[in-house]
């Protein structure tokens, strides 16, 4: 059941006006719905693309200041539109068509990656009543949709007609699949207490004091958050799990044969993924858009997400890389037992009612 | 009934172009699945015929040519050649010049090890220590620039002494620099030393047994990290190193982590030597009076001089026929032996380990190819 | 390894990088900001002129050409009837120069110096070959210590101290280097530098001059 879409309160009136106008023109309900949802989709897509561009700039500045240098400084104040110029540059680069039999696979891999990254935002609670569709299977839907990236990695590796790209693609896919298990188990730990999969319900269950946030509910909260964040870093293929992107490991990753806009799609998809996992972390562990009333709720959401994104970026610029077999060993031999033990503990707590 | 899986070995070329600053070295890796079966280094991409060029240059002109023999520790290259020429001509170098030489050599050793720290960390995936290492190296390079005018190829240590006296602000700035480096070392080691990911990547990886190291003539920090106590500053003293109180760090295991830690320990010991040298710096001449750049002519004969460089034993075998130009300048660099020993113990591991291994060997290609 | 210790060390790593976020950057925005180079910094080679008369200090003693390890300096200074050299052309090829500073050290007349300027990149190899006019012009605003005056005063003081050994002292002051055939000049010949036709002609001419000179020296 798709709930009614709600928007920014200021635009809500405008949206209602659009909705009523369309209905008044006598179009069938289907068409009215299609037009309204399409508009919403375009708006969300636009906002997210801007966020992705901004995140790239944020990453470059953070990495630069951690290394005591400046980063982009020339395009705009401290380089704020550097990413736009980079995107323009990538647009006019030659789109190299490699010799391969599977042209369809090669072509569609970046598209699928890009689209899959955006699909998760249908159920993302940006703020109070700001959600596109409050599905009652919200978090399950997100888990299902983020798994599409695995297909695109395999397609990229296969379609590149390059044995090293294939190796890289398979390694990436194995990594993402392995780290799905601890990620889902950490999420499940929280869902036990919420009682519902809907994103809005999860956020509402943490309303009130700051200590209602799930991350503070000892002992399973912090552990679930830590395991979730580690699994999320691996999902996004970021250091210390960035074997697919490492330049020093000469058997390079799945995107080695892509150039120009196709490469840009992989790149942007990575940053959108990063925002997605941070948004899920904020929703589950840090109270979503809850906060004091004098700041609008979506600013709370955005601020908290950016802090988690900052944490992910600091991980990248602080830690060395794990070797591929150590990575898999870490997932299966350490993270999975810990998350499942945590899950059992949380279950026990819920059964005996030892929580507030 | 078990069917035998047929596996093929394939060759991966780690080409001359590298993302790290090891230089142009080509490694042909024969791989069986993920493991490396054979390594074949192909060298010669940086061969500049330095030894042949030196046969047609006067002794003073050889010094800037030999600067490029190993440009990361250019002072050592200058020094080892001057030592060989001084041994040949039996010249005594004034006290102040010897102290200045020790100061420059040890500063250069610290700079080289800081570069090693940065590059190794970058190879293993941590990008930030590269910038931290280079930030401290800038302090040292600024000192060099203040004294001799260049940041990388110094042309400073000459036959008979040094070319220029240090300016007034050198000693206080040097003291400040080594104090800052000592403090920042705790920062760097905190970032990496106990980091579980770093330990996973370097502990127990690529162990070089001591007998293999000795058999291949490996020297320097790689040898000492395998447990062999051998440092030319103690075993075959040169310059005035016997006046300073410092330790030679040795580590038992010979894995990547020990090679990395040993160089950090060596930085600390170099700081010790430097403070003693700065305290004891005497006044006096900076160059032997009789030695002039344009007219230096050692007697006919041959001499071998070797020093403890950051990468091992650096040696020059000098043959003179009594004229203004050397007859033969044979150079010996530590990286050559370390590259030779790499295929002997660097097999049967993953490529990621090979990258870590190669990084901790600290091979610099100009020394290999000359 | 103990997981708690591992987490503590990981957090320590984050603290170290995190505290750098609050520090100011140590890099500068080139080309709007530039470091001032130390005075001994070895940049381009320039020819110095006398501070009062504005004429070149160079006496064409050819010491710098002999000292250069890469044969980057080419001097055209023919001898006149009294066997004294007069400087006609002075070329420094900055593509060959290795910036070692040996020319500066060899000069006794404060005629050649390595200035601190380092921004001289050009778009072709020929543009890096600079002749006497350009070298003199670049050297006009380079501050230097005139060692000739010091030497003159030192010579005067020494002469005033001890009158009899005067002629000997004077001879000692003059640098006395026999012009032997030096292979850097030959190397310059054999290099076969591909400059413009005119410059090639020039270099060949200089080579001829030098070869004649060497023959004279030998005989």
Q: What is the pLDDT of residues A101-125, one digit of tens each?
A: 788 888 899 899 989 988 888 888 8
**Shortest distance, CA C35 to any CA of chain A (angstroms):** 16
Q: d(Cα B193, Cα B206) in Å, to the nearest integer?
A: 18
Q: d(Cα C202, Cα B98) in Å, to the nearest integer?
A: 46
Task: State the CATH number of the domain containing residue C134.
Answer: 3.30.70
Give the residue from chain A lying closest to B354, CA to CA: A249
Domain tally for chain C? 1
Q: Which of A60-69, A281-290, C210-219 shows the lowest mean pLDDT across its residues?
A: C210-219
Q: Which chains pack against C, by 3+ Cβ pairs within 8 A?
A: A, B
What pLDDT is recorded for position C164?
55
B22 pLDDT above the threshold of 90: no
Dihedral sign, CA of C152, C158, C160, C163?
Answer: negative
Please state whether the peptide bond connecting residue A286 to the residue before it is cis, i.e. omega within 30 degrees of 0.
Answer: no
More confident residue, C151 or C76: C76
Query: Judged by CB atoms within 8 Å, which residues 69-88 of A form the interface with B?
Result: 69
- Say if the Cβ atoms of C16 and B163 lie within 8 Å: no
- Say if the Cβ atoms of B352 and A242 lie within 8 Å: no
Chain C residues with CB inside 8 Å of B56's CB? 183-184, 187
Nearest to B130 by CA among B119, B139, B141, B140: B119
Any A CB within 8 A of B131 CB:
yes
Dihedral sign, CA of A89, A91, A92, A94?
Answer: positive
B100 pLDDT above the threshold of 70: yes
Query: Judged by CB atoms within 8 Å, which residues 18-57 of C form the interface with A?
Result: 18, 20-21, 23-27, 29
Q: d(Cα B33, Cα B9) in Å, to the nearest integer?
A: 7
pLDDT tens per residue, range B211-241: 999 999 999 999 999 999 999 999 989 889 9
B26 pLDDT above the threshold of 50: yes
More confident residue, C208 or B322: B322
Q: Is residue A276 assigned to a domain?
A: yes
What pLDDT is recorded for position A218?
67
Tell me if A53 sits within 8 A of A87, measured CB to CB: yes
Burial of B150 (0-12, 13-18, 19+ CB in 10 A): buried
Sheet with B312-320, side-by-side order of all strands = B301-309, B312-320, B328-332
| Helix residue ranges per DSSP H, chain A | 9-24, 29-66, 82-91, 103-119, 138-146, 148-159, 163-194, 199-204, 220-235, 261-285, 297-318, 324-329, 336-352
What pLDDT is recorded for position C206?
38
- Say if the Cβ atoms of C183 and B199 lie within 8 Å: no
Any A CB within 8 A of B124 CB:
yes
pLDDT tens per residue, range B315-352: 999 999 989 999 999 999 989 999 999 999 988 888 88
Residue with tokens 């001059």: C209
Q: Is residue C109 assigned to a domain?
A: yes
Any A CB within 8 A of B351 CB:
yes
**Domain map (residue ranges) of chain B:** 48-369
Residue A116 backbone phi and psi in degrees, to 5: -60, -35
**Shortest distance, CA C162 to any CA of chain B (angstroms):** 23
Q: What is the mean pLDDT of residues A155-168?
A: 82
* Mean pLDDT, chain B, whole residue set: 90
- Say if the Cβ atoms of C98 and B164 lie within 8 Å: no
Any C CB within 8 A of A317 CB:
yes
Chain C residues with CB inside 8 Å of A223's CB? none
Any B CB within 8 A of A68 CB:
yes
Any C CB within 8 A of B146 CB:
yes
More confident residue, B120 or A212: B120
Which of C14, C19, C24 best probes binding to A when mutated, by most A CB atoms within 10 angstroms?
Answer: C14
Any A CB within 8 A of C157 CB:
no
Prediction ipTM score: 0.84
A265 pLDDT above the threshold of 90: no
pLDDT tens per residue, range A4-40: 444 445 555 566 677 777 777 777 778 888 888 888 8
Q: d(Cα C44, Cα C55) in Å, to the nearest integer?
A: 20
Q: d(Cα C124, Cα C195) in Å, to the nearest integer?
A: 10
- Say if the Cβ atoms of C29 and A69 lie within 8 Å: no
What pLDDT is recorded for position A11?
54
Tell me if A57 sits within 8 A of A82, measured CB to CB: yes
C17, C24, C25: residue with CB nearest A317: C17
Any A CB within 8 A of B352 CB:
yes
B197, B198, B355: residue with CB nearest A248: B355
Any C CB within 8 A of B189 CB:
no
Residue C13 backbone phi and psi in degrees, to 5: -60, -45
Range of the domain at C61: 45-150+163-218
Write out the E strands in chain B: 9-14, 26-32, 35-42, 157-158, 161-162, 301-309, 312-320, 328-332
B157 pLDDT above the threshold of 90: yes
Q: Is residue A302 assigned to a domain?
A: yes
Burial of A174 (0-12, 13-18, 19+ CB in 10 A): middle
Assigned CATH topology for domain B48-369:
Cytochrome-c3 Hydrogenase; chain B (1.10.645)
**A345 CB-near residues (< 8 Å, 6+ apart):** A219, A220
Tell me if A237 sits within 8 A of A319, measured CB to CB: no
C13, C16, C42: residue with CB nearest B149: C42
B268 pLDDT above the threshold of 90: yes
- Say if the Cβ atoms of B146 and C9 lie within 8 Å: no
Query: Judged by CB atoms within 8 Å, which residues 4-63 of B form the interface with C?
Result: 56-57, 60-63
Any A CB within 8 A of B201 CB:
yes
Which of A248, A314, A317, A325 best probes binding to B when mutated, by most B CB atoms within 10 angstroms?
Answer: A248
**A77 CB-near residues (< 8 Å, 6+ apart):** none
Q: Is residue C6 assigned to a domain?
A: no
Residues C153-187 as b or e (16 or more Cβ within 10 Å = b): eeeeeeeeeeeeeeeeeeeeeeeeeeeeebebbbb
Give the residue from chain C lying closest to B167, CA to CA: C40
Domain tally for chain A? 1
pLDDT tens per residue, range A34-82: 888 888 888 888 988 899 889 999 999 999 999 999 989 888 888 888 9
What pLDDT is recorded for position B309?
92
Please give the torsion angle defined by the CA atoms of residues A130, A267, B130 and B360, in that order, rounded to the nearest 10 degrees: 120
Strand B157-158 and strand B35-42: pairing? Answer: unpaired
C89 pLDDT above the threshold of 80: yes
**Shortest distance, CA C130 to any CA of chain B (angstroms):** 22
What pLDDT is recorded for position C162?
67
Tell me if A177 sits within 8 A of A150, measured CB to CB: yes
What pLDDT is recorded for position B85?
93
- Say if the Cβ atoms of A73 and C29 lie within 8 Å: yes
**Shortest distance, CA A337 to any CA of chain C (angstroms):** 13
Longest CA span, chain C: 90
Query: Judged by CB atoms within 8 Å, which residues 58-117 of B form the interface with C?
Result: 60-65, 67
Per DSSP, C106 falls in state: H
pLDDT category of residue C1 using cuts at 50, 70 and 90: low
For residue A330 the two structure tokens come to 């870490």
Q: What is the mean pLDDT of residues B25-39?
A: 87
Chain B residues with CB inside 8 Å of A248's CB? 19-20, 122-125, 355
pLDDT category of residue B208 using cuts at 50, 70 and 90: very high
Q: Which of A259-263, B96-100, C118-122 shows the lowest mean pLDDT across its residues?
A: A259-263
Which of C78-86's residues contact partners 24+ apart within 8 Å by CB, and which partners?
C78/C209, C79/C213, C85/C59, C85/C60, C85/C61, C86/C60
- Say if the Cβ atoms of C10 and B60 lie within 8 Å: no
For residue C87 the two structure tokens come to 């400087």
Q: Is residue C181 assigned to a domain?
A: yes
Is A238 strand, coil or helix? Answer: coil
C1, C37, C183: residue with CB nearest B56: C183
Q: d(Cα C73, Cα C145) in Å, to the nearest integer?
A: 22
Any C CB within 8 A of A73 CB:
yes
pLDDT tens per residue, range C163-192: 654 444 444 444 444 444 444 444 344 343
C72 pLDDT above the threshold of 90: yes
Is B69 strand, coil or helix? Answer: coil
Q: How far is CA B59 from the centre of its chain?
A: 23
* Mean pLDDT, chain A, whole residue set: 83
Chain C residues with CB inside 8 Å of A315's CB? 14
Q: d(Cα B171, Cα B177) in Å, to the nearest integer?
A: 10
pTM: 0.86
Tell me if B198 sits within 8 A of B331, measured CB to CB: no
Which of B74, B147, B155 best probes binding to C when mutated, by most C CB atoms within 10 angstroms?
Answer: B155
A176 pLDDT above the threshold of 60: yes
Q: How far is CA A284 from the centre of its chain?
A: 14
What pLDDT is recorded for position B209?
92
Which of B55, B61, B165 best probes binding to C when mutated, by most C CB atoms within 10 angstroms?
Answer: B61
What pLDDT is recorded for position A1?
30
What pLDDT is recorded for position A254?
75
What pLDDT is recorded for position B6?
65
Give the residue from chain A lying closest to C18, CA to CA: A66
pLDDT category of residue B276 using cuts at 50, 70 and 90: very high
Range of the domain at A181: 82-352
Q: Which chains pack against B, by 3+ Cβ pairs within 8 A?
A: A, C
Q: Is residue C113 assigned to a domain?
A: yes
Q: Is residue C24 assigned to a domain?
A: no
Chain C residues with CB inside 8 Å of B145's CB? 37-38, 40-41
A348 pLDDT above the threshold of 60: yes
Chain B residues with CB inside 8 Å of C42's CB? 149-150
Q: Is residue C10 assigned to a domain?
A: no
Give the residue from chain B lying closest to A164, CA to CA: B12
Q: Is residue C212 assigned to a domain?
A: yes
Is C120 strand, coil or helix? Answer: coil
For residue C12 the two structure tokens come to 């320590």
Q: Is residue C83 assigned to a domain?
A: yes
Q: Which of A7-16, A171-180, A311-320, B252-261 shows the lowest mean pLDDT across its residues?
A: A7-16
B12, B132, B197: residue with CB nearest A320: B197
């Amino acid at each position: 059941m798709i709930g009614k879409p709600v928007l920014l309160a200021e635009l809500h009136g405008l949206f209602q006006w659009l909705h009523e106008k369309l209905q008044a023109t006598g179009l069938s309900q289907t068409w009215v719905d299609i037009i309204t949802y399409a508009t919403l989709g375009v708006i969300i897509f636009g906002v997210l693309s801007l966020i992705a561009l901004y995140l790239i700039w944020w990453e470059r500045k953070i990495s630069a200041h951690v290394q005591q240098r400046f980063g982009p400084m020339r395009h705009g104040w401290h380089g704020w539109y550097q990413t736009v110029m980079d995107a323009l540059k990538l647009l006019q680069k030659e789109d190299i068509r490699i010799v391969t039999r599977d042209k369809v696979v090669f072509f569609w891999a970046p598209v699928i990656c890009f689209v899959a990254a955006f699909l998760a935002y249908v159920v993302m609670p940006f703020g109070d009543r700001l959600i596109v569709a409050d599905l009652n299977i919200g978090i399950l839907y997100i888990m299902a949709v983020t798994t599409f990236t695995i297909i695109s990695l395999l397609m990229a590796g296969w379609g590149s007609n390059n044995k090293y790209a294939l190796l890289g693609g398979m390694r990436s896919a194995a990594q993402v699949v392995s780290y799905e298990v601890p990620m889902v188990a950490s999420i499940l730990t929280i869902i036990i207490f919420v009682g519902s999969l809907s994103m809005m319900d999860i956020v509402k269950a943490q309303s009130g004091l700051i200590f209602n946030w799930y991350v503070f509910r000892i002992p399973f909260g912090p552990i679930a958050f830590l395991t979730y964040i580690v699994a999320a870093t691996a999902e996004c293929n970021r250091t210390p799990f960035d074997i697919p992107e490492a330049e020093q490991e000469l058997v390079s990753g799945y995107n080695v044969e892509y150039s120009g806009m196709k490469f840009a799609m992989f790149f942007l998809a990575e940053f959108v993924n990063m925002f997605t996992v941070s948004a899920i972390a904020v929703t589950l562990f840090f109270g979503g858009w809850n906060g004091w009333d004098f700041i609008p709720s979506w600013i709370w959401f955005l601020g908290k997400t950016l802090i988690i994104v900052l944490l992910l970026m600091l991980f990248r610029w602080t830690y060395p890389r794990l070797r591929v077999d150590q990575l898999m060993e870490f997932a299966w031999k350490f993270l999975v037992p810990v998350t499942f033990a945590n899950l059992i503990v949380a279950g026990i707590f819920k059964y005996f009612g030892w929580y507030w | 009934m078990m069917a035998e899986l047929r596996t093929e070995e394939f060759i991966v070329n780690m080409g001359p172009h590298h993302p790290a600053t090891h230089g142009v070295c080509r490694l042909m890796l024969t791989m069986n699945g993920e493991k490396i079966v054979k390594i074949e280094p192909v060298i010669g991409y940086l061969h500049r015929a330095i030894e042949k060029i030196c046969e047609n240059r006067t002794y003073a002109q050889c010094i800037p040519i030999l600067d490029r023999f190993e440009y990361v520790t250019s002072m050592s290259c200058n020094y080892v050649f001057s030592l060989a020429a001084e041994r040949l001509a039996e010249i005594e170098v004034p006290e102040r010049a010897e102290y200045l030489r020790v100061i420059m050599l040890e500063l250069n050793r610290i700079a080289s090890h800081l570069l090693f720290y940065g590059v190794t960390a970058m190879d293993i995936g941590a990008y930030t220590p590269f910038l931290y290492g280079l930030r401290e190296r800038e302090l040292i390079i600024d000192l060099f620039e203040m004294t001799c005018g260049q940041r990388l190829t110094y042309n400073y240590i000459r036959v008979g002494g040094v070319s220029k006296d240090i300016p007034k602000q050198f000693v206080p700035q040097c003291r400040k620099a080594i104090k800052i480096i000592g403090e920042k070392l705790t920062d760097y080691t905190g970032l990496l030393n106990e980091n579980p990911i770093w330990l996973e990547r370097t502990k127990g990886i690529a162990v070089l047994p001591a007998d293999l190291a000795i058999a291949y003539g490996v020297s320097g920090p790689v040898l000492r990290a395998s447990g062999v106590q051998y440092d030319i500053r103690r075993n075959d003293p040169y310059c005035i190193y016997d006046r300073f109180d410092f330790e030679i760090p040795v580590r038992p295991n010979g894995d990547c982590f020990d090679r990395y830690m040993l160089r950090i320990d060596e930085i600390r010991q170099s700081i010790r030597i430097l403070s003693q040298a700065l305290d004891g710096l005497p006044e006096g001449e900076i160059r032997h009076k009789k030695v002039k750049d344009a007219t230096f002519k050692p007697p006919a004969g041959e001499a071998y001089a070797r020093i403890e460089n950051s990468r091992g034993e650096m040696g020059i075998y000098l043959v003179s026929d009594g004229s203004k130009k050397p007859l033969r300048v044979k150079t010996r660099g530590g990286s050559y032996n370390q590259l030779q020993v790499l295929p002997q113990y660097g097999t049967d591991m993953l490529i990621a380990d090979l990258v870590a291994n190669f990084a901790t060997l600290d091979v610099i290609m100009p020394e290999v190819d000359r | 390894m103990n997981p708690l210790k591992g987490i503590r060390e990981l957090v320590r790593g984050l603290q170290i990088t995190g505290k750098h976020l609050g520090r100011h950057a140590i890099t500068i925005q080139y080309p709007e900001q530039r470091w001032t180079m130390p005075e001994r910094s070895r940049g381009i080679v320039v020819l110095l002129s006398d501070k009062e008369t504005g004429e070149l200090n160079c006496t064409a003693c050819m010491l710098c050409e002999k000292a250069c390890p890469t044969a980057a300096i080419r001097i055209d200074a023919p001898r006149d009837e009294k066997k004294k050299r007069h400087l006609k052309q002075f070329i420094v090829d900055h593509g060959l120069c290795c910036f070692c500073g040996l020319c500066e050290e060899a000069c006794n007349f404060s005629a050649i110096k390595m200035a601190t300027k380092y921004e001289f990149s050009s778009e072709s190899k020929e543009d890096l070959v600079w002749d006497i006019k350009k070298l003199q012009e670049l050297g006009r605003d380079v501050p230097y210590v005139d060692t000739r005056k010091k030497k003159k005063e030192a010579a005067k003081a020494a002469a005033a101290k001890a009158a009899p050994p005067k002629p000997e002292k004077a001879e000692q002051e003059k640098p006395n280097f026999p012009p032997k055939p030096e292979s850097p000049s030959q190397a310059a010949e054999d290099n076969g530098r591909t400059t413009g036709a005119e410059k090639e002609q020039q270099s060949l001419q200089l080579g001829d001059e030098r070869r004649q000179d060497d023959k004279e020296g030998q005989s």
